[in-house]
Amino acid sequence: MPNKIKILFLCTGNSCRSQMAEGWARHLKGDMVEPYSAGIETHGLNPKAVKVMAESGVDISNHRSKNVHELMHINFDYVITVCGHAEGRCPIFQGKTVRIHRGFDDPPKLAAGAKSEEEALMHYRRVRDEIRNFVLQLPDILER
């Protein structure tokens, strides 16, 4: 079996979007990719992200928020930035690493004005599903 494609999903705080992407990649594409996630900073794991992923049958509760510098020793095939802030501040990776940007809305920011927990979770669910649809296209979409 060929080596798995090593992918780092990178966002600002590694609390929500990149965690969801890592979780989906492990769940849906674990036979093809070796996913990681990290942030330019660390903001802790977002409980609402954990909750909406669990609703879809993906447990990310054991993930932890990591700073990208913790993973610089790994030879990634791809680094996928999932927010504009990370795209602009993405460090340089050694070797053959290809950087791709695929931005997603920030659920905590969208949910900030929510009038109820359910309304807030709707934002998380939408972004969760958008990330799932992106991950479903891996690794094919990386070659485009």
- Phi-psi region for residue 106, left (φ > 0), alpha (ψ -120 to 50) or beta? beta
Query: Which residue in the list 28, 71, 74, 90 is annotated as catalytic?
Result: 90
Angle at 78 between CA 77 and CA 81, to 5 degrees: 160
Find the catalytic residue in 83, 86, 120, 127: 83
Active site residue 16: no
The answer to whether the CB of 36 falls within 8 A of the CB of 74 is yes
Q: Which of 7, 11, 58, 82 is catalytic?
A: 11
Helix (H, G, I), strand (E, B), or coil: what is residue 109?
helix
Nearest-angstrom CA–CA distance, 144 and 72: 25
In order, the DSSP letters of 53-98 are HHHTT---TT----BGGGGTTS--SEEEE-SHHHHHHPPPPSTTPE
Q: Which residues are catalytic?
A: 11, 83, 90
